[in-house]
Structure 1
Amino acid sequence: MPRVSDLHVVANTPLPAPQVLSREIPRSDAHAGFVVKSREEIARVLAGVDERFLVIVGPCSIHDLKAGREYAQRLAGLAEEVKDRMLLVMRVYFEKPRTTVGWKGLIMDPHLDGTNDIPTGLRMARTFLREVLELGLPTATEMLDPITPQFIADLTCWSAIGARTTESQTHRQMASGLSMPVGFKNATAGSVVAAINGIKAAMQPQTFLGINEEGRASVVTTTGNAASHLILRGGDEGPNFDEGSVGQALAALQKNGLAPKVMIDASHANCGKDCRKMPDTFREIVRQRKAGATGIIGAMLESNLVAGAQAMAESREALVYGQSITDQCIDWETTVALLREV
């Protein structure tokens, strides 16, 4: 009989069930309490009840847990210092969408060598999220693979749907069931309409295919996620953090019956992926807020211990400690100065 299945599949390795991994790396009552509190604080900022400025800040991606821990420890102290004016949430990004090919993040390739040891990556991600929470820092990540939330969502306080997936029905459905606030980025071309449609879909009840805690294929039915919001990150046609673009986005939200609230990403296309331009982009976002644009509820910053970015090396030892291997980031000293300035 001719073969018709798995013609291009060379391996199909079972994963540990989400509940098995959760028992192996458990969530304590203290973790759960802090996650609930943090999600509520973020939701209050989105609703305009809490007037603090929400800042999602941290490395473009986590690839070195030691450097990630050092960054988190520093950020925890800064978050405490500025907590009367700002709510800082740490970027803890483990999955990276690629335009073509490249390193896809700690979960997919934790050893940075193409071995794709996903079970180890999931364990590392879950362990690191616990460590960040124990420092008193809320956690933020992008949910890229629709199976991933079953393994890490209980330790995540805020999540994003990225520019490449904001038009994806699968991701909109997934967002409708996530237990934390979710930001939808405008599409890579710059379309805000795509993200607004994503928000509207995520706020509605959805039924879709997924997995349950036992790891079995299942039919998932959700209530919808009311804490879904828009993120402006620029696009192929240029930045969209200027007053005109922000005003148009807020008007479009209102026209679609959504709250006129927006977060603005100071990185990605809004700084031309040049970390040297990111501080001034961030300052302009804050200037607009200070001038009365209360619809701007927060911003995103890609920040690491060392500025810039580096290419993947043949060995971990050859990598610069504390420097991104994905998008460029501002360094720690610049991060501190910016946030204290705000």
Structure 2
Amino acid sequence: MSVAQTENLNIIAVDHMPSPLEIQSRVPLSERAAATVLKGRKALADILDRRDGRVFVVLGPCSIHDPVAGLDYARRLKTLADEVSDQLLLIMRVYFEKPRTSVGWKGFINDPYMDDSFRIDEGMEKARRFLLDVNEIGLPAGTEALDPIGPQYYGDLISWTAIGARTSESQTHREMSSGLSSPVGFKNATDGDLDVAINAILSASNPHSFLGISPKGETAILRTRGNRYGHIVLRGGGGRPNYDTVSVSLAEKALAKAGLPQNIVVDCSHANSWKNPELQPLVMKDVMHQIREGNRSIVGMMVESHLEAGNQPIPKDLAQLRYGCSVTDACVDWGTTETMIRNAAKVLREAPRKADMPA
């Protein structure tokens, strides 16, 4: 008597996915890229530990869909980064995965050709190659870790990692973050709740053991030591922004109560700008005012920025895509980006923050 099938009832195909080692062998880490990653991580750690008085800014397209335009942006950003490096550490926002409330394009790794072919195997290799190119320019990269397997493929090219508002509460992402080699920013929940992010920081700072994959692509038990560079990212929520002085003060108190360092990053986009990119400069201006007035807890900011302002739908004819314009959240353009960053650097030069160096 045959046993009835009880699994894979909704699986229509199981396609081969190259292992992390296979992808890394095709796109190997170079010495120059490795030096950029390590320098970026050390600078971030020094800022979080107050050994470096600068402020870091993670900025770039909402998502990468065109590597050519992405590298055009990266080269411009590298020039700007060098110009303001005395006051600001610029990290390029390189997002390949997009969380979806229901449906929509899930990002460059999931569907690199934007045609519903879902060539994840090719998307992962292309994503790694793009990260390698950015780091070889000398620009550190930051990304959102959405798929818990993804960092095995590209984590060696990441200087800063974000855990999004929808996943900060996920045990899987907290465990994964405990093993990441980069500092990790946890966003507050979409309803504005801070406890989710604070609990995530606490969880990720501790050792964990969990199921994952090895570099060879085999199922493995991963055991971590914990990541001590977790911090909170205020992105607004629950119908209101949370970058104002009162909200920042409440976040400081919540972090102190949990026994955590008062390290706060403000996302100038999302609910803090009411999803209106034109308001991002105003958010940054307010944050810089707080820093100028003596705030020490705000260590970083995030900005959604591209070559062209706004966003665009993905057309059936991809030749109709506008160059350098986001296909996900709307962004500020390059000219506005330069003004925002230069103004922020000017504020810091006028009221410099000294590192807490030991006597």
TM-score above 0.5, yes or no: yes
Partner residue, 2:24: 22
Question: C-alpha separation between the residues in 2 aligned to 1:209 and 1:290?
Answer: 46
Residue number among 35, 54, 76 corresponding to 1:52 in the alignment: 54
Of the three residues 235, 238, 245, the one matched with 2:237 is: 235
**CA displacement, residues 239-276 of structure 1 (integer Å, 9 cap, x when unaligned):** 00010000000110000000011000000000011011
Instruction: Report the residue type matching 1:248 in the other structure.
Output: L
Aligned to 1:203: 205
Look up the match of 1:339. 341
User: CA offsets, 1:167-206, max 9 Å, x none?
Assistant: 0000000000000000000011111110000000000000
1:323 paired to 2:341? no
Report the TM-score when normalising by structure 2.
0.94
One-letter amino acid of the counterpart of residue 169, structure 2: E
Structure-2 separation of matches of 1:177 and 1:105 = 24
- Cα distance in 2 between the residues matched to 1:266 and 1:273: 10
Among 187, 190, 193, the alignment partner of 2:189 is 187
8 Å CA contact 2:32, 2:135 repeated in 1: no
Question: In structure 1, what is the equivalent of residue 115 of structure 2?
Answer: 113
The Cα of 1:4 is off from its aligned counterpart by 1.2
Instruction: Trace 1:122-271 onto structure 2 (pairs within 5 A).
Output: 122-271=124-273
**Does 2:56 correspond to 1:41?**
no
How far has the Cα of 1:236 moved from its partner? 2.2
* Counterpart residue number, 1:274: 276
Higher relative contact order (Cα pairs below 8 Å, separated by 6+ residues): 2
Q: Tell me, what secondary structure is at the counterpart of 1:297?
A: strand
Shift of 1:237: 2.7
How far does the alpha carbon of each residue in 1:120-156 deviate from its partner, in whole angstroms, 9 at most, with x for none?
1001100000110111100000000000000000011
Tell me if structure 1 keeps the 8 A contact 2:33–2:138.
no
Give the CA RMSD over aligned residues: 0.7
Q: Displacement, 1:3? A: 2.1
Q: Is the 8 A contact 2:265 2:301 kept in 1?
A: yes
Q: 1:302 maps to which residue?
A: 304
SS at match of 1:188: coil
Deviates more, 1:122-131 or 1:311-320: 311-320
| Cα shift at 1:315 | 2.1
Name the SS for the 1:240 alignment partner: coil
> Which consecutive aligned stretches of 4+ in structure 1 deviate over 3 angstroms post-superposition?
none
> What count of residue pairs does the alignment treat as equivalent?
342
Structure 1 residue ranges without an equivalent (≥5): none
TM-score normalised by L of structure 1:
0.99
Percent identical pairs in the alignment equals 47
Q: Distance in 1 between matches of 2:154 and 2:294?
A: 37
Retained in 1: the 8 A contact 2:62–2:305? yes
Where structure 2 has 5 or more consecutive residues not aligned to the other structure, the ranges are 345-359
In the alignment, the residues of structure 2 paired with residue 243 and residue 14 of structure 1 have an alpha-carbon distance, to the nearest angstrom, of 51
Aligned mates of 1:251, 1:273 — CA distance in 2: 27
Secondary structure of residue in 2 paired with 1:329: coil
Measured in 1, the distance between the counterparts of 2:159 and 2:262 equals 22
The code of the aligned residue for 2:184 comes to V
